[in-house]
Amino acid sequence: MNFAQAAIALDGILTLLLEIRQRAEVRREGGRLQGTGE
């Protein structure tokens, strides 16, 4: 695996983790907001 492939893989993992964290935050705040439809 060369550097470019490692960088792309790392970027993908970080993006995935960020998405999971944002969804968890939305789910946690869902009780307060309610009615967003998601």
**Dihedral in degrees, nearest 10, Cα atoms 24, 27, 28, 34:** 160
State residue 37's pLDDT score: 54
The string of pLDDT tens digits covering residues 17-32 is 999 999 988 877 776 6
Within 10 Å of residue 18's Cβ, how many Cβ atoms?
10
Q: CA–CA separation, 12 vs 34, rounded Å?
A: 31
Does 15 score more than 90 pLDDT? yes
pTM: 0.58
Structure tokens that stand for 5 in this block: 């492939």
| Exposure of 27 in the CB half-sphere (CA atoms within 13 A) | 6
